[in-house]
Structure 1
Amino acid sequence: MNQENPDSSTQPFKRNAVSIFVGLAAIALLICAAAYLPKIASVSTSVGGRELPIYCVDTDKPQISISFDAAWGNEDTQTILDILAKHNVKATFFMTGGWVESYPEDVKKIYEAGHDLGNHSENHKHMSELSTEEQTQELMKVHNKVKELTGVDMILFRPPYGDYNDSVIKTAAANHYYPIQWSVDSLDWKDYGADSIIQTICENKSLENGSVILCHNGAKYTKDALETVITTLQGKGYEFVPISELIYKDHYHMDRAGKQIADT
């Protein structure tokens, strides 16, 4: 005699109930996990249909940033680092791939001193003349070199010559970079002398809270002007912070002058 399993009639119901329970539990876990995921940044870099990099920052804090483009030479790098350390100033160094490859120990020194490491492209080309793929290569080749040396994933990019278009800005963002320009140009690369650099920076009409100052570590007179620039601006009440601390990382928009403004 075949004996029917007394629970056989309820098996389909139980299987369905278990499946529903498991499905609901999985959904609940996803909802809980989503609560801990980083929120998508609310950012607008487009003004009048044109993509803009960050030239300066709108802030009530008397904070400014000094930056050094490193594309040639390292003779003065240690002196610059010593002056920055003497006055407890943290800066930002934008480095090309060639410079990183030529002076890896300097890259490590800059990082170990607590300064920002910034991307200045692999080969210092006009980025707007390159394809999107070539732009990405220019960014990521030097990115990977610095990552291998220091473990740092750089997030700041300054296009060589300040040259950019919509494609350059979008490519930078797609590779998790904030494109950075400057609002105060030291003109140190013109080799007019230390006094000229000091005056150009310290009496600049664009100098204000949130300014980004452009210098070059390889310019002839930069090291001679640097200490006076720092002490003069500190005397005016400014605090130097690296660009990574000056800029807003999310929830911001740009004005037509390239000033980064926090959303309220």
Structure 2
Amino acid sequence: MHSLSLVTDRRPRARRLFGTGAALSAVLLWTLLGQGPAVRPTATVVPHPAAVTVDGKGLRALFESENRLIRTSERVTAVTFNAAWNDAGLDSILGELARRRAPATFFLTGDFAERHPAEVRRIAAAGHGLGNHSFSHPHFKDLTAAGRQHEVMAADRALREAGAGRALTPFFRFPYSETSPAHIREVNALGFADIEYTADTNGWKGTEGGMTVERAVERAVNALRPGAILQMHVGASHGRTEVIDAQALPRILDALAARGYRVIDLRTLLTP
């Protein structure tokens, strides 16, 4: 069994805005609060038991990087969902994941958590990980440093108050996947690793945006490679009820299995 780590987009580093002391303190805080490496899924989800590490350093090894791919030669992939609008399609998604005994990570906005606390608890109870997707899903480049910090920490607070519990991870995903080295360092200083994605199915665009279930499945399949991180979405915008990713999920999981891939839980990357 090969160990896994994340392929990082290590862009040119500017001088650090924050000292390592703050980041290390944040890591220790996550561990002491039981929100980091100690996270374990419930019996509903059974991730592969292999010991998975990131350069033997866990969370700290993910800092200062835009993480879009897991470095491995094995046919494994991670399935993730973002949620900001509403809970449309969640019943179908959770049911399919449970039927396949497949783990996933859900990146929720704080606004979603405040409006749908019962759904936050359902995701956690099903054994999946919960990540931070900001509070209101703004463009981070348009915010001040204080505004960006507020977005991250307000979302963290909302997820905790909604009952995320031990399902909560120290993972952050930028709105619109708009990252920069400086913004990543800011997030790291708050104790979060940036986890982006290899490919998005684009199911969130809906049929009016030119997407179909077939196209969503095709985008996922075309992105398959050892360590791919797939991004999908829960909910629908502008009053829509159609959730293409919920419809595409069974076919995507079928395609993964047919090609010899297994779905792994991103939280195993935190195991020191």
TM-score for the superposition, normalised by structure 1: 0.72
Counterpart residue number, 1:172: 187
For the Cα contact (< 8 Å) 1:197–1:225, is it kept in 2?
Answer: yes
Counterpart residue number, 1:189: 204
CA drift at 1:99:
0.5
**What SS does the corresponding residue of 2:78 show, helix, strand or coil?**
strand
Distance 2:126 2:265 in 1: 12
- Structure 1 residues 104-123: Cα deviation after superposition (integer angstroms, max 9, x where no partner): 00100100111110100001
Counterpart residue number, 1:150: 164
Read off the aligned partner of 2:83 and give its amino acid letter.
A
Counterpart residue number, 1:106: 119
Matched, 1:237 2:250: no
Read off the aligned partner of 1:98 and give its amino acid letter.
D
Distance 1:150 1:95 in 2: 11
Unaligned runs of 5+ in 2: 1-55, 237-242
For the Cα contact (< 8 Å) 1:156–1:244, is it kept in 2?
Answer: no
In the TM superposition, what are the counterparts of 1:1-264 in structure 2 within 5 Å?
Answer: 43=61, 51-148=64-161, 149-152=163-166, 153-191=168-206, 192-202=211-221, 204=222, 206-219=223-236, 220-245=243-268, 247=269
**What SS does the corresponding residue of 1:199 show, helix, strand or coil?**
helix
**What SS does the corresponding residue of 2:179 show, helix, strand or coil?**
coil
Larger radius of gyration: 1
CA drift at 1:71:
0.5
Read off the aligned partner of 2:230 and give its amino acid letter.
I
User: RMSD between aligned alpha carbons?
Assistant: 2.3
Moved over 4 A (4+): 39-42
CA drift at 1:151:
2.5
- Structure 1 residues 200-238: Cα deviation after superposition (integer angstroms, max 9, x where no partner): 111x1x421111001111252111111011011112111
Read off the aligned partner of 2:227 and give its amino acid letter.
G
**What SS does the corresponding residue of 1:154 show, helix, strand or coil?**
strand
Counterpart residue number, 2:32: none
For the Cα contact (< 8 Å) 2:111–2:135, is it kept in 1?
Answer: yes
Distance 2:136 2:62 in 1: 29
Paired residue total: 206
**What SS does the corresponding residue of 1:137 show, helix, strand or coil?**
helix
Distance 2:81 2:182 in 1: 25
Distance 1:151 1:186 in 2: 29
For the Cα contact (< 8 Å) 1:121–1:159, is it kept in 2?
Answer: yes
Question: What is the percentage of aligned positions where both structures have the same residue?
Answer: 27
For the Cα contact (< 8 Å) 2:124–2:165, is it kept in 1?
Answer: no
Change (3 A) 1:234 1:126: same
**What SS does the corresponding residue of 2:67 show, helix, strand or coil?**
coil
Read off the aligned partner of 1:209 and give its amino acid letter.
P
